Amino acid sequence: MLKKYFNLLLTILFFLTVTTQVVVAQNGVVNEAVQDEVTVYPNPVSDGKIYVSSSFDGSKYVEIYDVLGKKVSQAEVRANKPIDVGSLTPGVYIITINEKNYIVTRKLVVR
């Protein structure tokens, strides 16, 4: 039992380390200017709703993964529309935002 918790802790720490770097790519080329334009808030989330904002007003395709890599939520959203994460259990998640051929990856904490 202790070994399972230890392995889970190592997995979480690995993902926290990996996801602290934001990767923004278009056709395989990293674009540093876009990474600061995409914001996920509030983070950590406790009210069950998050917002994704950027300078691009078009639709965004959002996917949320747990620390084991399982997709737990997906949505297509427009600017200023909330994403419901109320069904997610408290923990750390990976969120990817795809817009205009750019993919941004962030860490999301649900309380």
Output the pTM of the full model.
Answer: 0.71
pLDDT in tens, 67-95: 999 999 999 998 789 999 999 999 999 99
State the average pLDDT for the chain: 80
Q: Quick one: pLDDT at residue 19?
A: 43
Of 17 and 101, the one with more pLDDT = 101
C-alpha pair distances (Å), 15 with each of 6, 10, 105: 14, 9, 12
Q: What pLDDT, on the 0 to 100 scale, is given for residue 54?
A: 85
**Phi, psi at residue 9, to the nearest 5°?**
-65, -45
For residues 63 and 48, give the distance between their C-alpha atoms in angstroms, rounded to a whole number. 16
